[in-house]
Structure 1
Amino acid sequence: MADDKSGRDKQAHDEERRQREREIAAELERGDEAEPPVDASELAYFETELEPLAFPATGVEIVSAVGDREIESTVGTYAIADLVPDADGETFDSPDEIGVRIRRPTVAMAMKRVVEAGDGLPNAEMSRSQRDAYERTFRELAAIDADDDDEGIRVMADWIVERIDDRETIPGSRDVRRRAAKFCRANGYEVRNDEWLGI
Protein backbone atom coordinates (compact mmCIF):
# COMPACT_ATOMS: atom_id res chain seq x y z
CA MET A 1 0.00 0.00 0.00
CA ALA A 2 1.35 3.39 -0.95
CA ASP A 3 2.45 5.75 1.80
CA ASP A 4 0.23 8.62 0.77
CA LYS A 5 -2.87 10.26 2.19
CA SER A 6 -5.32 7.76 0.67
CA GLY A 7 -3.20 4.82 1.87
CA ARG A 8 -3.03 6.22 5.40
CA ASP A 9 -6.77 6.94 5.35
CA LYS A 10 -7.47 3.36 4.28
CA GLN A 11 -5.23 1.99 7.03
CA ALA A 12 -6.97 4.17 9.62
CA HIS A 13 -10.40 3.13 8.33
CA ASP A 14 -9.41 -0.56 8.38
CA GLU A 15 -8.08 -0.27 11.92
CA GLU A 16 -11.26 1.49 13.05
CA ARG A 17 -13.35 -1.27 11.43
CA ARG A 18 -11.27 -4.00 13.12
CA GLN A 19 -11.64 -2.24 16.48
CA ARG A 20 -15.43 -2.10 16.06
CA GLU A 21 -15.46 -5.80 15.12
CA ARG A 22 -13.47 -6.63 18.28
CA GLU A 23 -15.88 -4.57 20.38
CA ILE A 24 -18.86 -6.31 18.80
CA ALA A 25 -17.32 -9.73 19.44
CA ALA A 26 -16.64 -8.79 23.06
CA GLU A 27 -20.23 -7.61 23.49
CA LEU A 28 -21.57 -10.85 22.05
CA GLU A 29 -19.47 -12.86 24.50
CA ARG A 30 -20.65 -10.92 27.54
CA GLY A 31 -22.43 -13.24 29.92
CA ASP A 32 -23.61 -10.68 32.47
CA GLU A 33 -26.52 -9.30 30.50
CA ALA A 34 -28.99 -7.40 32.65
CA GLU A 35 -31.38 -7.10 29.73
CA PRO A 36 -33.28 -10.28 28.90
CA PRO A 37 -31.37 -11.67 25.92
CA VAL A 38 -32.71 -12.20 22.48
CA ASP A 39 -32.22 -15.84 21.50
CA ALA A 40 -29.05 -16.39 19.42
CA SER A 41 -30.91 -18.43 16.79
CA GLU A 42 -33.42 -15.57 16.45
CA LEU A 43 -30.53 -13.16 15.81
CA ALA A 44 -28.85 -15.51 13.33
CA TYR A 45 -32.06 -15.83 11.31
CA PHE A 46 -32.56 -12.06 11.38
CA GLU A 47 -28.98 -11.43 10.23
CA THR A 48 -29.54 -13.65 7.17
CA GLU A 49 -32.46 -11.39 6.21
CA LEU A 50 -30.01 -8.47 6.14
CA GLU A 51 -27.66 -10.09 3.62
CA PRO A 52 -29.24 -8.37 0.57
CA LEU A 53 -28.37 -4.96 2.06
CA ALA A 54 -25.05 -3.33 1.18
CA PHE A 55 -23.09 -2.43 4.31
CA PRO A 56 -22.42 0.04 5.75
CA ALA A 57 -26.16 0.75 5.82
CA THR A 58 -28.05 3.62 7.40
CA GLY A 59 -30.85 3.20 9.89
CA VAL A 60 -33.27 4.44 7.21
CA GLU A 61 -32.18 1.66 4.83
CA ILE A 62 -32.47 -1.00 7.52
CA VAL A 63 -35.91 0.15 8.69
CA SER A 64 -37.07 0.34 5.08
CA ALA A 65 -35.84 -3.20 4.34
CA VAL A 66 -36.76 -5.10 7.52
CA GLY A 67 -38.55 -2.62 9.81
CA ASP A 68 -41.68 -4.74 10.11
CA ARG A 69 -39.70 -7.88 11.03
CA GLU A 70 -40.27 -8.85 14.68
CA ILE A 71 -37.69 -10.11 17.15
CA GLU A 72 -38.74 -12.07 20.22
CA SER A 73 -37.00 -11.68 23.55
CA THR A 74 -37.83 -13.36 26.82
CA VAL A 75 -40.01 -10.39 27.82
CA GLY A 76 -41.76 -9.49 24.59
CA THR A 77 -41.78 -9.07 20.86
CA TYR A 78 -40.28 -6.00 19.20
CA ALA A 79 -40.44 -4.74 15.62
CA ILE A 80 -37.07 -3.77 14.17
CA ALA A 81 -38.53 -0.33 13.43
CA ASP A 82 -38.94 0.11 17.22
CA LEU A 83 -35.28 -0.72 17.86
CA VAL A 84 -33.31 0.82 14.98
CA PRO A 85 -33.29 4.61 14.44
CA ASP A 86 -35.01 5.69 11.25
CA ALA A 87 -32.19 8.17 10.63
CA ASP A 88 -29.56 8.75 7.99
CA GLY A 89 -27.09 9.76 10.70
CA GLU A 90 -27.00 6.25 12.20
CA THR A 91 -24.83 3.86 10.22
CA PHE A 92 -24.25 0.16 10.84
CA ASP A 93 -21.16 -1.49 9.36
CA SER A 94 -22.43 -5.08 9.50
CA PRO A 95 -25.41 -7.25 10.43
CA ASP A 96 -23.50 -8.21 13.60
CA GLU A 97 -23.48 -4.59 14.72
CA ILE A 98 -27.26 -4.43 14.37
CA GLY A 99 -27.51 -7.71 16.29
CA VAL A 100 -25.52 -6.25 19.19
CA ARG A 101 -27.85 -3.26 19.32
CA ILE A 102 -31.10 -5.23 19.29
CA ARG A 103 -29.97 -7.77 21.91
CA ARG A 104 -30.95 -5.18 24.54
CA PRO A 105 -34.38 -3.93 23.43
CA THR A 106 -34.77 -1.31 26.17
CA VAL A 107 -31.36 0.21 25.42
CA ALA A 108 -32.05 0.03 21.66
CA MET A 109 -35.36 1.88 22.06
CA ALA A 110 -33.67 4.61 24.13
CA MET A 111 -30.87 4.98 21.57
CA LYS A 112 -33.47 5.16 18.78
CA ARG A 113 -35.21 8.08 20.51
CA VAL A 114 -31.94 9.93 21.15
CA VAL A 115 -30.51 9.44 17.66
CA GLU A 116 -33.77 10.44 15.96
CA ALA A 117 -34.06 13.56 18.15
CA GLY A 118 -30.52 14.63 17.25
CA ASP A 119 -30.72 13.67 13.58
CA GLY A 120 -32.66 16.77 12.61
CA LEU A 121 -30.31 19.31 14.18
CA PRO A 122 -28.71 21.52 11.54
CA ASN A 123 -25.41 22.29 13.30
CA ALA A 124 -24.87 19.31 15.55
CA GLU A 125 -23.73 15.81 14.79
CA MET A 126 -23.46 12.97 17.26
CA SER A 127 -20.08 11.29 16.96
CA ARG A 128 -19.65 7.53 17.10
CA SER A 129 -17.81 7.81 20.43
CA GLN A 130 -20.66 9.90 21.84
CA ARG A 131 -23.21 7.29 20.70
CA ASP A 132 -21.09 4.57 22.29
CA ALA A 133 -20.91 6.55 25.55
CA TYR A 134 -24.68 7.06 25.60
CA GLU A 135 -25.26 3.38 24.93
CA ARG A 136 -22.84 2.36 27.67
CA THR A 137 -24.60 4.70 30.10
CA PHE A 138 -27.93 3.08 29.24
CA ARG A 139 -26.40 -0.40 29.73
CA GLU A 140 -25.02 0.64 33.11
CA LEU A 141 -28.45 1.90 34.14
CA ALA A 142 -29.97 -1.42 33.06
CA ALA A 143 -27.41 -3.26 35.20
CA ILE A 144 -28.10 -1.18 38.33
CA ASP A 145 -31.28 -3.08 39.16
CA ALA A 146 -32.79 -5.58 36.76
CA ASP A 147 -36.11 -5.46 38.63
CA ASP A 148 -36.82 -1.72 38.26
CA ASP A 149 -38.40 -1.92 34.77
CA ASP A 150 -35.47 0.09 33.41
CA GLU A 151 -36.87 3.34 34.78
CA GLY A 152 -33.42 4.93 34.70
CA ILE A 153 -33.08 4.31 30.97
CA ARG A 154 -36.43 5.96 30.27
CA VAL A 155 -35.64 8.91 32.55
CA MET A 156 -32.27 9.49 30.89
CA ALA A 157 -33.64 9.14 27.36
CA ASP A 158 -36.37 11.67 28.25
CA TRP A 159 -33.74 14.06 29.68
CA ILE A 160 -31.48 13.81 26.61
CA VAL A 161 -34.37 14.31 24.16
CA GLU A 162 -35.65 17.30 26.18
CA ARG A 163 -32.16 18.87 26.15
CA ILE A 164 -31.92 18.36 22.39
CA ASP A 165 -35.38 19.89 21.86
CA ASP A 166 -34.86 22.82 24.26
CA ARG A 167 -31.26 23.77 23.47
CA GLU A 168 -30.96 22.40 19.94
CA THR A 169 -27.67 20.81 20.89
CA ILE A 170 -26.61 17.32 21.83
CA PRO A 171 -25.56 17.02 25.48
CA GLY A 172 -22.03 15.83 26.14
CA SER A 173 -21.50 12.27 27.30
CA ARG A 174 -20.04 13.49 30.62
CA ASP A 175 -23.23 15.51 31.27
CA VAL A 176 -25.29 12.41 30.55
CA ARG A 177 -23.16 10.30 32.90
CA ARG A 178 -23.42 12.93 35.64
CA ARG A 179 -27.18 13.10 35.26
CA ALA A 180 -27.44 9.29 35.32
CA ALA A 181 -25.31 9.14 38.49
CA LYS A 182 -27.53 11.79 40.08
CA PHE A 183 -30.62 9.73 39.20
CA CYS A 184 -29.04 6.59 40.68
CA ARG A 185 -28.03 8.26 43.93
CA ALA A 186 -31.44 9.94 44.29
CA ASN A 187 -33.06 6.50 44.01
CA GLY A 188 -30.81 4.78 46.55
CA TYR A 189 -28.35 3.10 44.18
CA GLU A 190 -24.69 3.33 45.09
CA VAL A 191 -22.39 4.68 42.39
CA ARG A 192 -18.69 4.42 43.16
CA ASN A 193 -16.15 6.83 41.71
CA ASP A 194 -14.30 4.05 39.88
CA GLU A 195 -17.42 3.05 37.92
CA TRP A 196 -18.57 4.38 34.54
CA LEU A 197 -21.28 6.54 36.11
CA GLY A 198 -19.06 7.66 38.99
CA ILE A 199 -17.69 10.90 37.59
Structure 2
Amino acid sequence: MADDKSGREKQARDAERRQRERDIVAELERGDETEPPVDPAELDDLEAALDAVEFPATGSDVVAAAGDRTLTDGDERYAVEELVPDTDEEWFGSVAAVRVRVRRPRIATAMKRIAEATESLPNAELGASQREAYERTLRELKAIEEDDEDEGVRVISDWIVERIREKERLPGSREVRRQAAKFCRSNGYTVRNDEWLGV
Protein backbone atom coordinates (compact mmCIF):
# COMPACT_ATOMS: atom_id res chain seq x y z
CA MET A 1 0.00 0.00 0.00
CA ALA A 2 1.30 3.43 -0.89
CA ASP A 3 2.56 5.61 1.93
CA ASP A 4 0.39 8.58 1.08
CA LYS A 5 -2.61 10.22 2.70
CA SER A 6 -5.23 7.88 1.16
CA GLY A 7 -3.14 4.80 2.04
CA ARG A 8 -2.77 5.92 5.66
CA GLU A 9 -6.52 6.72 5.84
CA LYS A 10 -7.37 3.25 4.52
CA GLN A 11 -5.05 1.64 7.06
CA ALA A 12 -6.68 3.68 9.82
CA ARG A 13 -10.20 2.70 8.65
CA ASP A 14 -9.17 -0.97 8.47
CA ALA A 15 -7.65 -0.81 11.96
CA GLU A 16 -10.81 0.86 13.27
CA ARG A 17 -13.02 -1.81 11.67
CA ARG A 18 -10.90 -4.62 13.15
CA GLN A 19 -11.07 -2.99 16.58
CA ARG A 20 -14.87 -2.69 16.34
CA GLU A 21 -15.08 -6.39 15.45
CA ARG A 22 -12.87 -7.30 18.43
CA ASP A 23 -15.01 -5.10 20.70
CA ILE A 24 -18.20 -6.79 19.48
CA VAL A 25 -16.74 -10.24 20.05
CA ALA A 26 -15.54 -9.26 23.54
CA GLU A 27 -18.90 -7.75 24.44
CA LEU A 28 -20.78 -10.82 23.27
CA GLU A 29 -18.43 -13.08 25.20
CA ARG A 30 -18.97 -11.02 28.35
CA GLY A 31 -22.74 -10.83 27.86
CA ASP A 32 -25.24 -12.96 29.67
CA GLU A 33 -24.91 -16.43 28.26
CA THR A 34 -28.30 -17.94 27.55
CA GLU A 35 -27.02 -21.26 26.28
CA PRO A 36 -24.35 -23.65 27.52
CA PRO A 37 -21.02 -22.73 25.96
CA VAL A 38 -20.00 -24.57 22.82
CA ASP A 39 -16.85 -26.61 23.32
CA PRO A 40 -13.86 -24.29 22.61
CA ALA A 41 -12.04 -27.13 20.82
CA GLU A 42 -14.94 -27.39 18.36
CA LEU A 43 -14.82 -23.62 17.77
CA ASP A 44 -11.06 -23.87 17.18
CA ASP A 45 -11.70 -26.67 14.67
CA LEU A 46 -14.24 -24.45 12.92
CA GLU A 47 -11.74 -21.59 12.77
CA ALA A 48 -9.11 -23.90 11.29
CA ALA A 49 -11.59 -24.97 8.59
CA LEU A 50 -12.18 -21.30 7.77
CA ASP A 51 -8.48 -20.45 7.38
CA ALA A 52 -8.73 -20.80 3.61
CA VAL A 53 -11.76 -18.48 3.37
CA GLU A 54 -11.09 -14.89 2.42
CA PHE A 55 -13.07 -12.44 4.57
CA PRO A 56 -15.42 -10.69 4.27
CA ALA A 57 -17.18 -13.85 3.19
CA THR A 58 -20.75 -14.84 2.41
CA GLY A 59 -22.76 -17.43 4.30
CA SER A 60 -22.38 -19.66 1.24
CA ASP A 61 -18.57 -19.37 1.49
CA VAL A 62 -18.68 -20.35 5.17
CA VAL A 63 -21.00 -23.30 4.52
CA ALA A 64 -18.86 -24.50 1.60
CA ALA A 65 -15.70 -24.42 3.74
CA ALA A 66 -17.04 -25.68 7.07
CA GLY A 67 -20.68 -26.74 6.68
CA ASP A 68 -19.96 -30.31 7.76
CA ARG A 69 -18.21 -29.33 11.01
CA THR A 70 -20.31 -30.02 14.11
CA LEU A 71 -20.78 -28.12 17.35
CA THR A 72 -22.18 -29.54 20.56
CA ASP A 73 -24.72 -27.62 22.61
CA GLY A 74 -25.60 -29.56 25.74
CA ASP A 75 -26.94 -32.87 24.44
CA GLU A 76 -27.56 -31.62 20.90
CA ARG A 77 -25.18 -31.55 17.95
CA TYR A 78 -25.47 -29.04 15.12
CA ALA A 79 -23.70 -28.96 11.77
CA VAL A 80 -22.45 -25.50 10.84
CA GLU A 81 -24.71 -25.64 7.76
CA GLU A 82 -27.68 -25.73 10.17
CA LEU A 83 -26.50 -22.51 11.83
CA VAL A 84 -25.29 -20.35 8.94
CA PRO A 85 -27.56 -19.39 6.03
CA ASP A 86 -26.29 -20.80 2.73
CA THR A 87 -26.78 -17.50 0.93
CA ASP A 88 -24.83 -14.72 -0.72
CA GLU A 89 -26.96 -12.15 1.14
CA GLU A 90 -25.44 -12.97 4.54
CA TRP A 91 -21.94 -11.55 5.11
CA PHE A 92 -19.32 -12.17 7.77
CA GLY A 93 -16.50 -9.69 8.26
CA SER A 94 -14.15 -12.12 9.97
CA VAL A 95 -13.72 -15.59 11.42
CA ALA A 96 -14.57 -14.02 14.80
CA ALA A 97 -17.96 -12.96 13.44
CA VAL A 98 -18.70 -16.56 12.40
CA ARG A 99 -17.56 -17.78 15.80
CA VAL A 100 -19.93 -15.34 17.56
CA ARG A 101 -22.82 -16.39 15.34
CA VAL A 102 -22.50 -20.11 16.05
CA ARG A 103 -21.84 -19.79 19.80
CA ARG A 104 -25.60 -19.75 20.42
CA PRO A 105 -26.77 -22.63 18.21
CA ARG A 106 -30.48 -22.47 19.02
CA ILE A 107 -30.64 -18.77 18.25
CA ALA A 108 -28.42 -19.21 15.18
CA THR A 109 -30.81 -21.88 13.86
CA ALA A 110 -33.78 -19.55 14.31
CA MET A 111 -31.94 -16.65 12.65
CA LYS A 112 -30.94 -18.91 9.74
CA ARG A 113 -34.62 -19.68 9.09
CA ILE A 114 -35.45 -15.97 9.20
CA ALA A 115 -32.58 -15.04 6.85
CA GLU A 116 -33.58 -17.73 4.37
CA ALA A 117 -37.24 -16.63 4.46
CA THR A 118 -36.09 -13.05 3.82
CA GLU A 119 -34.45 -14.17 0.58
CA SER A 120 -37.93 -14.74 -0.86
CA LEU A 121 -38.76 -11.03 -0.49
CA PRO A 122 -38.14 -9.09 -3.69
CA ASN A 123 -37.22 -5.71 -2.19
CA ALA A 124 -36.08 -6.38 1.35
CA GLU A 125 -32.98 -7.49 3.16
CA LEU A 126 -32.26 -8.29 6.77
CA GLY A 127 -30.02 -5.39 7.73
CA ALA A 128 -27.51 -5.46 10.57
CA SER A 129 -29.58 -3.41 13.02
CA GLN A 130 -32.75 -5.40 12.38
CA ARG A 131 -30.85 -8.69 12.67
CA GLU A 132 -29.37 -7.49 15.96
CA ALA A 133 -32.82 -6.53 17.28
CA TYR A 134 -34.29 -9.91 16.29
CA GLU A 135 -31.36 -11.74 17.90
CA ARG A 136 -31.65 -9.72 21.10
CA THR A 137 -35.36 -10.55 21.30
CA LEU A 138 -34.59 -14.25 20.85
CA ARG A 139 -31.82 -14.07 23.49
CA GLU A 140 -34.30 -12.48 25.93
CA LEU A 141 -36.74 -15.31 25.26
CA LYS A 142 -33.95 -17.87 25.67
CA ALA A 143 -33.07 -16.33 29.04
CA ILE A 144 -36.46 -17.21 30.51
CA GLU A 145 -35.34 -19.80 33.05
CA GLU A 146 -38.69 -21.53 33.32
CA ASP A 147 -38.77 -22.12 29.55
CA ASP A 148 -36.26 -24.97 29.31
CA GLU A 149 -37.65 -26.16 26.00
CA ASP A 150 -36.97 -22.81 24.26
CA GLU A 151 -40.61 -22.62 23.26
CA GLY A 152 -40.44 -18.83 23.08
CA VAL A 153 -37.55 -18.88 20.61
CA ARG A 154 -39.41 -21.36 18.39
CA VAL A 155 -42.75 -19.56 18.61
CA ILE A 156 -41.36 -16.11 17.78
CA SER A 157 -39.06 -17.30 14.98
CA ASP A 158 -42.02 -19.22 13.48
CA TRP A 159 -44.13 -16.06 13.80
CA ILE A 160 -41.49 -13.94 12.02
CA VAL A 161 -41.19 -16.48 9.18
CA GLU A 162 -44.99 -16.64 8.83
CA ARG A 163 -45.19 -12.82 8.69
CA ILE A 164 -42.54 -12.74 5.99
CA ARG A 165 -44.48 -15.28 3.92
CA GLU A 166 -47.97 -13.88 4.53
CA LYS A 167 -47.27 -10.14 4.49
CA GLU A 168 -44.23 -10.31 2.19
CA ARG A 169 -42.31 -7.96 4.44
CA LEU A 170 -40.03 -8.10 7.45
CA PRO A 171 -41.83 -7.31 10.69
CA GLY A 172 -40.36 -4.34 12.54
CA SER A 173 -38.29 -4.98 15.65
CA ARG A 174 -40.93 -3.34 17.87
CA GLU A 175 -43.58 -5.59 16.36
CA VAL A 176 -41.41 -8.64 17.11
CA ARG A 177 -40.78 -7.45 20.67
CA ARG A 178 -44.51 -6.90 21.21
CA GLN A 179 -45.25 -10.42 19.97
CA ALA A 180 -42.55 -11.83 22.25
CA ALA A 181 -43.96 -9.91 25.23
CA LYS A 182 -47.44 -11.18 24.36
CA PHE A 183 -46.09 -14.75 24.31
CA CYS A 184 -44.39 -14.25 27.68
CA ARG A 185 -47.42 -12.75 29.39
CA SER A 186 -49.82 -15.37 27.97
CA ASN A 187 -47.55 -18.08 29.40
CA GLY A 188 -47.21 -16.52 32.85
CA TYR A 189 -43.73 -15.00 32.44
CA THR A 190 -43.29 -11.51 33.86
CA VAL A 191 -42.20 -8.74 31.51
CA ARG A 192 -41.48 -5.36 33.09
CA ASN A 193 -41.90 -2.15 31.10
CA ASP A 194 -38.23 -1.22 31.57
CA GLU A 195 -37.01 -4.46 29.92
CA TRP A 196 -36.24 -5.04 26.23
CA LEU A 197 -39.50 -6.94 25.71
CA GLY A 198 -41.52 -4.42 27.72
CA VAL A 199 -42.75 -2.33 24.79
Q: Normalising to structure 2: TM-score of the pair?
A: 0.89
Could you tell me which runs of 5 or more consecutive residues in structure 2 were left unpaired when the two chains were aligned: none
| Structure 1: stretches of 5+ with no match in the other structure | none
> What do you get for the CA RMSD once the two structures are aligned?
2.0
C-alpha deviation, 1:79, in angstroms:
0.5
Q: Measure the CA separation in 2 of the matches of 1:2 and 1:33.
A: 43
Find the residue that maps to 1:144 and give its secondary structure.
coil
After TM superposition, give the deviation of residue 193 of structure 1 in Å: 1.2
Normalization by structure 1: what TM-score? Answer: 0.89
Amino acid at match of 2:30: E
User: Where do 1:66-85 residues align within 5 Å?
Assistant: 66-85=66-85
**Is 2:56 the partner of 1:56?**
yes
Q: CA deviation at 1:96?
A: 1.2
Deviation per residue, 1:15-42 (Å, 9 max, x gap): 4553343121111233x32212101222
Partner deviation per Cα, 1:109-147 (whole Å, 9 max, x = no partner): 000000000023111111101001111111110001264
> Which amino acid counterpart does residue 156 of structure 2 have in structure 1?
M
Which position in structure 2 is the counterpart of 1:18? 19
Q: Deviations over 1:27-75 (max 9, x none)?
A: 1233x32212101222122111111000011111111121111112222
Tell me how many residue pairs correspond in the alignment: 194
Q: Deviations over 1:164-192 (max 9, x none)?
A: 00111111111111111111111111111
2:92 paired residue number: 92
| CA shift in 2, pair 1:181/1:13, >3 Å | farther
Identity among equivalent pairs (%) = 53
Counterparts of 1:20-39 in structure 2, within 5 Å, are 20-30=21-31, 32-39=32-39
CA–CA distance in 2 between the matches of 1:12 and 1:117? 34
Equivalences for 1:36-47 in 2 at 5 Å?
36-47=36-47
Distance in 2, Cα, partners of 1:171 & 1:17: 31
